[in-house]
Structure formats: C-alpha cells, structure tokens
A and B are shown apart, each in its own frame.
Chain A
Amino acid sequence: MSRADRIAALIAAAGACEGPLLPVLHAVQAEFGCIDREAEALIADALNLSRAEVHGVASFYHDFRAEADPRPEVQLCRAEACQARGCEALVPAAEAAAAGRVRLTTVYCLGLCSVGPNARIGDTLHARLDEAALVRLIETA
C-alpha cells in the first residue's frame, strides 16, 4: 500500500465523526511521526478544507510535528509541582545524557504532581525520579 493510500485509509477510519480533523491528525501523527506537506494536502482534499486550514490547525498544537524525528523522545515535566520537587536541578544531567541521541522535551504536567519529578516515554510514566534514575531512563530510551 502506498503512503497516500495509507493516509486515505487513516482518514476514512478516523474521519467518520463530527469535527474529524483532530482525530485524523492524531492518526496520521501516530502512524508517520509527523504531518508533512503531502499529508496536509491529502487531508485537506478529503475533508473539503484548504491546505492552509489544515496547516493552521496542525501547526497550532504541540503534539503535531511537521517533520518526523526518528530519535526516541523523553518528556520531562517541568511545571510548578515538579519544580517544587526539584526537577530543574535534574535538567543539566538529563541534557548531557540525551546528548542529541534522545529528544528531551518539556511537558507541562503529567498529573502525577505529588510524586515528581516525572517523565513520560511513549505511554509509560515514571515518577519519583532522581538524577541517576532519570539519566538511566534517558540512556536506555
């Protein structure tokens, strides 16, 4: 199946609802790791929108990316509750451990605010991190 066919199938599966654009964008992002120009054009065509409208929406939300990044991603929560539990002190060591091999990103709140510092890799959450535990997570990501 070609990439365009695959995107068409995702649109057909996720787009059969009221207000289908976000579910479709999630499906494409999950499958390809990004929503690129080709995908935007196909989605726009299928949903009867302009490509500008699709691009406007895809670029608005933090979860959608214009280019795929093959590196593993580690999200570190750096919101107030984790700050109060010392997450900022872990950042230099985390950045050193990531060293370009891992995409270390900031997330504002994973909802585990009483047991921070916290991180997320895929759908797996990690709590009560100290420097050694976070570095280990990043190195094995």
Chain B
Amino acid sequence: MTTVRLSDDALAIACGADAVADAFAAAGCAVERVSSWGMHWLEPLVEIAGLGFGPVAPADVPAILHGASDKAIGPIAEHPFIARQQRLTFARAGRTRPLSLEDYAVTGGWAGLTRARALAPGDVIGQVIQSGLRGRGGAGFPTGVKWKTVAEAPGSRKYVVCNADEGDSGTFADRMLMEGDPFAVIEGMAIAAHAVGAQRGYIYVRSEYPHAIAKLNRALEICAPIIAPCRIEVRVGAGAYICGEETAMLASIEGRRGEVRAKPPLPAISGLFGCPTAINNVLTLTALPHIMAEGGAEEYARLGIDRSRGTKPIQLAGNIRHGGLYETAFGITLRELIHEIGGGTASGRPVRAVQVGGPLGAYIPPAQFDLPFDYEAFAAADALIGHGGVVVFDDTADMRAQARFAMAFCAAESCGKCTPCRLGAVRGVELIDRIAASARLPDPVGALAQMHNAPKVARTRDQDLALLDDLCETMRFGSLCALGGFTHYPVQSALKHWPEDFA
C-alpha cells in the first residue's frame, strides 16, 4: 500500500489538505499527517516515498498515483528552498507526525532535557550563555542572562511562561512549531524550568490559533509523565495584540486587563503572581533542546555573525512568490531572501517595500536590500528584526496608507495605560488623513477654546509633516512599551523613503 504524507498544519488545511487526504484514502492509500515543510506556495504538499507534489487538489490524485502528475517537484529534501536552509529549530519540519512520541524520540527528542537534568541548573544556564542564544521574540535579550536573574531571585515559587501570542502580521513560525513540533516547545520549557528552578509553566497562546491550542493541549496530556514534576498548562488569549508584551501577558494570565506596567520590577524578579518568572518566546524555547544536546551549544555559537549567534527562522510572507519558513544562520541579506529564495513578488510586479518585524517594524526600500539579517545591523539602519517576519509589497503599495494603518493599528490595540500611545495613535491617524486630504483647515483640537496657545490659522503641509514627525518622537520616547514606542518605525520609515506618497 502506498503511504502518502501530507501536513495537518492549519495553513495546509486552509489550503484544502483535508480534502486531498480524503481523496488519497479513498484511492486506497495510507495517509500519514505530518508537520509542514514550510514551502507554503506548494501546500497542500504531498510526499510519497520522498518525492513531492504540490500544490495538490483532489483532482490531481489519480495522476499522482499513476506517476504522471505535472505537480511533481522531485525529492522534497533536495528542493533548493529546503536544501539551502540550516534547520536546527525546524529540524523536524515535514519529517515527523506532530503528536507521535515515537517520531519525536527517534529524531533526538528529549535528549536535551535528559542531559540538562543531569547537569546542575547553573551549568545549564552556562551552556545557554555560551551558545549566545538571544530572545527570538524580538527584543534579542540574552536568554541565559535572563535565566540567571530568575534563578538567583529569592523565592521558592517560580514560573516559566512561554510567549506564544504571535500577533505580528507576517509571522507564523511559532504557530508552525506549536502545531508541527509541540513536544519540542514543551521540552524547551521543561529545560527552562529546570534551569531557573520553576515548578510550573504556562503557554500563552492567542485565540486566533485554534489548531495550535488543540495540538498543545493534546501534546501536554501525552508527555505529562515525561516532563514531570514540571507541570505546564495552556492559557488562551482573547484577541488582544498587546498581550504579547510580557507584563500585559502576565496580567492576562492572572485574570486582569491586559495592561502593560512599568519595569522595573523585571518579571524575572517579580513576575507572575509576584513570583520570579522566566518569559521566553516559542522560538527561543524550541532552540533549547538542540542547544542542550551534546555539543549543541558549541555548534550554535559557531553559526551566525557578530553578536547574533545561531539560526533565525525567517518567515517570508505577503506578496512573495515562494512564501514560507526559511531558517538560516544570521547574516543573510534581504536581497537573497526576497529575490533568490522568495522569487520576487507573487504578482510579478517590482518590489516597492518590505516590512520586517511585524506591524511595528520599519518599511525598507529596495536600495537597502543588502542589509544583513543581524540585530545590530538592523538597529543601525533604524529598523528591527523583531520576530523575523518579512512582508513583501509590490509597486501598487501606497506607503501613506501603510503609515496610516500603523497608527490605526496602534490605536486599535493600545491597552490605554500610557498617554503617548493611547492618544498619540489616534492623533496620528487624524494627522495623516489631513495630509492625505490636502485639507488646509484648522486642526479641530487646536481650535478648542481651552487650547489657548495653539495657532488658530491652518497649518501648511510642511508643518503637518513636522508635527507627524514630532508625534512619532513623542510616542517613541514617551510610551511605556514597544507598541507605542515602535510605531514610529513604520511611520517614519515610510515618510523618509517614500516622501512622494505624502505629497
């Protein structure tokens, strides 16, 4: 009997994988549902004896089984998109059944946890520091240093929290790991719990990811005896983007409004329920089983450039021909990613802009595509890597509309705690609308009776643009967290590189 493997990842299912699986089963094949290879333009991607076919519709099934399909792509593992990658975090992608303990164990699963538990917690932290691993959620803080703070903080009750509130548009690496390799996420958390001395862990998953929630809950049931005495629970978000910010996330788990609070105290000292808490992103935690395996830390530290060590799972999204998950060592340029690997735009039109790092990331023009993927290089170019999402726009993109969206998104998702973000984002939308409408009317707020010092004559466009710039600076330096504090990245980068769109 022919064994057919295809993904049961949410993306594959949304593209019709279930109907394809049914068609193969009806044709007498054994169907095995595995994780996704991450070649999203080929989903539903079918694998038969190592050979790939995609994107497959149920009507393609007879031709594939008769060996005469025009959807054949050859051996999947040798596909250029896969062969060029250095997959450590995503080593199992496409190769294992997500909820099979057997598949997980034969591919090296639990080796990292076993070795970590044989070491003293301090030695585990030492290995993580040696690997150079930095937080993959966006901030890039050294993971081992954070853990050291938690481990040394006084308190008998400590927590590990996995930040799986992957709200950034253009990112899906966390989702793919939770759905495709849930035991690796859990193993990483168990390693973290051992290192910092925590007894309990929470995985905070956004409610927009129903498949990931189901997979994690099932995986936790299956592997509870393996990770014991550590106990891990899934907590489901409720549609608030801000809960990806760590202090808002803790408030949400505690059952409060997802409002950001000032730091210090750091969550590492006083976090969940006032206890020392290690909060790490899904990608950070899932890198750990590899790092803690024999020789893993040394291998990790050898990869990458400068202070950005190891590999980064990059997500190619938006208007790109070959979108998907691309894990590689730090240092790859945007040009390679977008043109060589991504194949340019899906629409076939020229690339106008790329937004890296989600809704709070800068828009980068083609002139800067030689920028290497590296935390410091991006920071020097007034941009950020964030969670590694790369969203490509073709030449039909209106950058003023994108800048307006950045402000509108900030207004919609602001928790309301601090004024620059709560009010600034609303004012930003109004200001961009005024610039767009070429309206030379007095500012309605400036016209209010109590605004004694506001000029009563209409502002010129240059004055409006200067005011927008000023507003961005106020939000940048005055906001409590990265939502208000980073909204200037998309707005000011659009203003700087595409001034013609604001004319």
Please report A residues at the B interface, Cβ cutoff 8 Å.
17-23, 25-26, 47, 56-57, 60-64, 79-85, 107-116, 118, 120, 123, 125-128
Contacts and interface: CB of A to CB of B under 8 A. Distances in A.
Contact of B257 (A57, A62, A108, A112): A57
Contact of A62 (B240, B318, B346, B409): B240
B413 interface: yes
A114 B256 contact: no
A114 B405 contact: no
A25 B238 CA distance: 9
A60 B258 contact: yes
Interface residues of B, number: 61
Nearest to B361: A80
A25 B239 CA distance: 13
Contacts of A120: 208
Contact of A80 (B208, B235, B239, B391): B391
Contacts of B487: none
Nearest to A25: B238
Given A84-B392, A120-B208, A113 B169 contact: yes
Tell me which of A80, A114, A125, A127 has the highest count of chain B C-beta atoms within 10 A of its own C-beta. A114
Main secondary structure of the interface of A (DSSP, over half): loop
Contacts of B346: 85
Tell me which of B170, B233, B258 has the highest count of chain A C-beta atoms within 10 A of its own C-beta. B170
B355 A80 contact: yes
A126 B14 contact: yes
Contacts of B10: 111-112, 125
Nearest to B175: A111
Interface in B406-445: 409, 412-413, 415
A47 B254 CA distance: 13
A17 B273 CA distance: 13
Interface in B116-136: none
Tell me which of A47, A56, A82, A125 has the highest count of chain B C-beta atoms within 10 A of its own C-beta. A125
Contact of B256 (A23, A57, A111, A115): A57
A81 B169 contact: yes
A19 B255 contact: yes
Given A80-B359, A81-B169, A120-B208, A112 B14 contact: yes
A114 B172 contact: yes
Contacts of A116: 318
A84 B338 CA distance: 14
A49 B13 CA distance: 41
B318 A80 contact: yes
Contact of B318 (A17, A63, A81, A110): A81
The 8 closest A-B pairs by CB, nearest first: A114-B323, A21-B255, A79-B169, A62-B239, A61-B238, A84-B318, A113-B317, A127-B14
Contacts of B319: 84-85
